Amino acid sequence: DMFSKSTSNAESASWKKGEPVPYAALCHTFEQIEDTTKRLQILDYLVKFLISVIKLSPESLLTVIYLSINKLCPEYEGLELGIGESLLLKAIAESTGREMKKIKADYAEIGDLGVIAMNSRSNQPTMFKPKALTIPHVFKTLKDIASLTGNSSQKQKVDKIKLMLVSCRNKEAKYLMRSLEGKLRIGLAERTVVVALAQAIVLSRPNITKLSKEKMQLELEEAASVVKSVYSELPCYDLIVPALLKGDIKGLKDACKLTPGIPLKPMLAHPTKALTDILDRFENIAFTCEYKYDGERAQIHKLEDGSMRIYSRNSENMSNKYPDVMERLGKFATPNTTSFVLDCEAVAWDREQKCILPFQVLSTRKRKDVKEEDIKVQVCIFTFDLLYLNGESLLREPLAKRRELLLEYFNEVDGEFAFAKSMNSTQIEDIQIFLDQSVADNCEGLMVKTLNGTEATYEPSKRSRNWLKVKKDYLAGVGDSIDLVVIGAYVGRGKRTGVYGGYLLACYDPDREEYQSICKIGTGFSEQDLEDHHKDLKEHVIPEPKSYYMLGENNKPDVWFAPVRVWEIKCADLSVSPVYKAAVGIVDSNKGISLRFPRFIRLRDDKTPENATSSEQIAEMYNDQKLNTVKNDTSMGVD
C-alpha cells in the first residue's frame, strides 16, 4: 500500500488551525500511549495533544475527550459502544474482500480485532486515496452506529463501519475497531484523561511560560484537583469542557455545580471487620449509626421545572422501573421544596405485615418499562441523605446539617417513604443492640457515618472512611462480599447435566481496561439459579476469550462469555495464586490473587461489569487480611 507507507502517522498527525482534527492525530497519540507503561509519559503525550487541540481546533476538544475515554455521551444517557465481534468480523471481511474463514482463523490466533483489521487493510492494494478520517466524522459515525436499532440495524451498522474502514490508514483501523468493540486497551485510564484535560487548559494560557517551575507545578496540581472534584459532582463533559474553554479553571467551580437532572456518583463506604473498628476509627469524633437497608440505591432528583427522576447507583435513569414511586414522589416533599437531590435505598416492602422484605424479593421486579398495573412487589424508599435543596448544593455541609434539612423539608409516608433509622450512641453495647435490631428488621447491618465538620461532607464517588459499613456476617469473619464478572463456564456433569456446572470469574482493572481471572466457582447456586444462569448466559457465548481477558495458563473453561453479568460472591479468604491473574503486578509481579471457597450470593444487576470489584480493591482486601491474620497464615494457592 504505497499511500499508507508514504505518510507515517506522525506526519498526518499535524493539522492547520481551524481545520477539523485528523483522526490520525488522535491515533498517533494512542500509539505513543500504548507503547509506554510510564504514567507520567502517558500523561505528557496526552497533554501535548490536547494543547494542540485547544490551540488549533478547540471545538473538537469535547469529542477528543470522549474518544479518549471511549464513550459517546454522559453515562446517564445510556448510549454505548460494544459492538459484537461477529458484526465487526463481517465488516472487516466485506471491506477488505478477504475470506471470512481466513479472518476468523486470524482472530482465533491473534485475538485482537484491531490488529486483524489493521493487517487486513494493509494487504489491500489501494487505487486511490480515500479522504482521511477526521475526529468529528468518526465521532458522529460512532454515535450513529450506537443509536441504530431495529430490524435492519445490523446491516446498516456493518455498512457504516465498512465505510470508515476503507478510509483508515496506518494504525487507525486498529483503534477504530477497538473503539467499536468498547475497549481501547492502551492503558489510558479516565482519571488520567481528566488530569490531562486540566493540565492542558492551564498550559495553553498565553502567558504560562512566565511562571516559575514551582508555581507552575502548584497550578497544575490545583487544576487537576478542581476538575476531578467538579467531575464527580457533575459527571458531564458536555458541560465541563465548554466551561473550561470559556472560563479556565477558576470559572469552572461556579459554572459547573451539582445540578438536579444530572446524577452524581454516589459516595461509597469502607468495610469494617468488627464493631471495635468503628471505635478505633471514630475515637473522639461524633458519629451516627444507620440501618443499612438491603435494596437498590436510588438517587431521587427534583428538577427546577418540577419533573422528577430516579437514578441507579450507576447513574442509569430508573424512572420507568419505578412508575409507582414516581407517582408518589410529590407527597414526600413539603410544598416549600422547589428542587432537590435525595440519596436513598429502594427496598421491597410487605404492605400487609408492614415490614421490609429481603433483597431477593426486590430483584424479582422487572427492570425496564414497568407498567403500574403489573407491579407485584411494593417498594418503600428509605432516605438517608439530602444533597441538594432549593437551588443550593449541600455537598459541603456536614451530615448533621444535611440530616436536619432532610427532616425539616420531607415527610414520612407510611410504607412508602421513611427516614433511615438512626442511633447516635457511641457505646459499643448500644451499637451491638442496634446492629442486632437491624438484622431482625431484614437489613444488612449498619452504616456508621461522621456527623460534624469537614470530615462529614458528602464525597461523591469516593469510598470514604467517613462512612463505614458493618455487615452482619463480617462479624463471623467472612469479610465483605466481592462483585465479579462471569467470563466462562464449564459443562455440567451428573446432576448438573444440561446446565453449566461451574463458572470462571474475573475482577476488573480500570487502568488496564481488562478483566482478570480470579477463581472458579461451583457452589452457592440453587437449582433455579443454575437454570436461570444457563438460559441467560448461553445468549452471551463468544467463540474466543476477549483479548482484554487476562488469563492464567490453566484458565480453560468449556465456553467463554462476553463480559455482561456481575455476581456477588463471598469467600473464605484471598490467597496469592500462580493460576489466576487478579491484581497481578500489585501484590506480586507475576502471580495473581484468588478466592478460596467462593460461594455465589446473588446477581448484581445494578452494577455494570466495569463497576465490578477492582484489582486494586482485591489487592487491598488481600493486604488487610494479612494484617489481621499474621499469626495463623494457613493460606495456600488454589488449584
Could you list the active site residues? 292
How far apart CA 285 and CA 431 sit, in angstroms, is 15
- Residue 567 in contact with ligand ATP, rule: CB under 6 A: no
Size of the site for ligand ATP (CB under 6 A): 14
C-alpha cell at 319: 424512572
Among residues 148 and 478, whose Cβ is nearest to ligand ATP? Answer: 478
How far apart CA 154 and CA 145 sit, in angstroms, is 9
Q: Which of 137, 297, 328, 596 binds ligand ATP (CB under 6 A)?
A: 297
Instruction: Kindly tell me the sign of the dihedral angle through the C-alpha atoms of 394, 399, 401, 403.
Output: positive
Instruction: Name 432's Cβ contacts closer than 8 Å, sequence gap at least 6.
Output: 275
How far apart CA 427 and CA 434 sit, in angstroms, is 11
Among residues 52 and 312, whose Cβ is nearest to ligand ATP? Answer: 312
Binding mask 57-76 for ligand ATP (x = CB under 6 A): --------------------
**Start-end of H helices in 171-310:** 172-181, 190-203, 213-233, 237-255, 275-281
Among residues 161 and 420, whose Cβ is nearest to ligand ATP? Answer: 420
Q: Name the minimum Å distance from CB 399 to ligand ATP.
A: 10
Among residues 469 and 596, whose Cβ is nearest to ligand ATP? Answer: 469
- Residue 447 in contact with ligand ATP, rule: CB under 6 A: yes
Pairing mode, strands 378-389 and 417-419: parallel
Q: Which of 345, 397, 509, 513 binds ligand ATP (CB under 6 A)?
A: 345
Q: Which of 384, 434, 525, 548 binds ligand ATP (CB under 6 A)?
A: 384
Q: Which of 27, 89, 173, 269 binds ligand ATP (CB under 6 A)?
A: 269
Q: Name the minimum Å distance from CB 406 to ligand ATP.
A: 12
Instruction: Name 322's Cβ contacts closer than 8 Å, sequence gap at least 6.
Output: 298, 310, 346, 370, 379
Nearest CA to 540 among 75, 82, 154, 72? 82
Burial class (CB in 10 A: 0-12, 13-18, 19+), 345: buried
- Residue 273 in contact with ligand ATP, rule: CB under 6 A: no
Q: Which of 31, 290, 416, 573 binds ligand ATP (CB under 6 A)?
A: 290
How far apart CA 608 and CA 565 sit, in angstroms, is 8
Residue span binding ligand ATP (CB under 6 A) among the ranges 265-273, 326-334, 373-381, 404-412: 265-273
Which amino acid, residue 521? Answer: I
Binding mask 219-258 for ligand ATP (x = CB under 6 A): ----------------------------------------
Q: Name the minimum Å distance from CB 267 to ligand ATP.
A: 8
Residue span binding ligand ATP (CB under 6 A) among the ranges 1-9, 11-19, 289-297, 398-406: 289-297
How far apart CA 197 and CA 36 sit, in angstroms, is 20
How far apart CA 100 and CA 103 sit, in angstroms, is 5
Residue span binding ligand ATP (CB under 6 A) among the ranges 69-77, 96-104, 146-154, 286-294: 286-294
DSSP 597: S
Q: Name the minimum Å distance from CB 347 to ligand ATP.
A: 8
- Residue 602 in contact with ligand ATP, rule: CB under 6 A: no
Residue span binding ligand ATP (CB under 6 A) among the ranges 55-63, 290-298, 304-312, 400-408: 290-298
- Residue 268 in contact with ligand ATP, rule: CB under 6 A: yes
Q: Which of 28, 183, 292, 546 binds ligand ATP (CB under 6 A)?
A: 292
Biggest CA–CA distance in the chain, Å, is 82
Residue number of the CB closest to ligand ATP reads 297
Other Cβ atoms less than 10 A from the Cβ of 392: the count is 13
How far apart CA 140 and CA 148 sit, in angstroms, is 12
Q: Name the minimum Å distance from CB 639 to ligand ATP.
A: 27
Residue keyed to cell 455498512: 159
- Residue 300 in contact with ligand ATP, rule: CB under 6 A: no
Residue span binding ligand ATP (CB under 6 A) among the ranges 33-41, 191-199, 285-293, 557-565: 285-293
Site residues for ligand ATP, window 468-497 (CB under 6 A)? 469
Nearest CA to 141 among 118, 154, 128, 159? 159
C-alpha cell at 401: 446539617
Instruction: Name 585's Cβ contacts closer than 8 Å, sequence gap at least 6.
Output: none
C-alpha cell at 178: 477497538
CB 161 within 8 A of CB 145: yes
Among residues 519 and 569, whose Cβ is nearest to ligand ATP? Answer: 569
Write a three-state SS string for 458-473: CCCCCEEEEEEEEECC
Among residues 107 and 458, whose Cβ is nearest to ligand ATP? Answer: 458
- Residue 293 in contact with ligand ATP, rule: CB under 6 A: yes
Residues that bind ligand ATP (CB under 6 A): 266, 268-269, 290-293, 297, 313, 345, 384, 420, 447, 469
